[in-house]
Amino acid sequence: MQISILGKSCSATYSGEHQLAIPLFLDRVPAGFPSPAQDYVERTLDLNELCIKHPAATFFVRVEGDSMIEAGIYPNDILVVDRSVRAEHGDIVIAGFHGELTVKELELKPVTRLVPRNKAYQPIEVPEGCELEIFGVVTSVVRNMRRKTSAKS
């Protein structure tokens, strides 16, 4: 197995005001035996650049519940939600339904449904005439792999 070190990310504030400039090392590193000898600075990487295309339209939400685990969305994950994207068939969306915000996969054909990605749950049919409000389209998932140190600030 090979990995490439891309460099570390900067803090995830969307404002971009406090970006940390961290150098990117362009050097392929065989796992286990990194050799930093030929490192040279190419540019810096900002995780915001990767996850956030429209800062003014991007919101973060916290996941509760396990209805989307087969789509790789787990409780306590932070979802990056872009409101400027028009929701299409197959998108994972945040929707307001029955007075509650929920994350589900959106199906528009043959009928409009909100589909959980967990076999234990049933799809939610959205009857015609019933208002379904799309809050935004989920574009990324942020998960802390060491739950003890998850962001609390």
Partner 1 sequence: MSRIFALVDCNNFYASCEKLFRPDLKNVPMVVLSNNDGCVVARSKEAKALGIKMAVPVFQIQEQIEQHGILLFSSNYALYADLSCRVMTILEGLAPKVEVYSIDEAFLDLSGLGSAVSLLEFGQNIKETVAQWVGLSVCVGIAPTKTLAKLANHAAKKYPATGGVVDLTQRERQQRLLAITPVTDVWGVGRRLGKRLDMMGIKTALDLAKCVPATIRNSFSIVLERTVRELNGESCLDLEELPPTKQQIMCSRSFGSRITTLEQMSEAIAQYTARAAEKLRQENQQAKVLTVFVQTSQFKQSQKMYSNSVTGELVLPSSDTRELNELAMQLLKRVWKEGYSYSKGGVMLSDFYDNDTYQPGLFDDVAKRPNNTKLMAVLDEINQSGLGKVFLARQGMNNTWQMKREYLSPAYTTCWADLPKIN
Please, which residue, 5 or 71, has the CB nearer to partner 1?
A: 71
> Does the annotation count 67 as an active-site position?
yes
Please name every residue paired with 29 in a beta bridge, in sequence order, or none if there are none: 3
Q: How far is the CB of 62 from partner 1 (least distance, A)?
A: 4
Please, which residue, 7 or 65, has the CB nearer to partner 1?
A: 65
Q: Could you say which of 11, 67, 109, 140 is catalytic?
A: 67
Q: Could you give the CA distance from residue 28 to residue 5 in angstroms, rounded to a whole number?
A: 7
In the complex, which residues of this chain contact partner 1 (CB under 8 A)? Answer: 54-57, 59-65, 67, 78-79, 83-84, 94, 96-97, 99-103, 133, 135, 151-153
CB-based contacts of 83, cutoff 8 Å, min separation 6: 54, 57, 58, 59, 135, 136, 137
Please, which residue, 51 or 103, has the CB nearer to partner 1?
A: 103
Q: Could you give the CA distance from residue 7 to residue 4 in angstroms, rounded to a whole number?
A: 9
Q: How far is the CB of 123 from partner 1 (least distance, A)?
A: 15
Can the peptide bond before residue 110 be classed as cis, meaning omega within 30 degrees of 0?
Answer: yes
CB-based contacts of 6, cutoff 8 Å, min separation 6: 24, 45
> Does the annotation count 53 as an active-site position?
no
The total number of residues shown for the chain amounts to 153
Q: How far is the CB of 96 from partner 1 (least distance, A)?
A: 3
Q: How far is the CB of 120 from partner 1 (least distance, A)?
A: 14
Please, which residue, 37 or 56, has the CB nearer to partner 1?
A: 56
Q: What is the DSSP letter of 87?
A: P
Question: Active-site residue numbers?
Answer: 67, 104
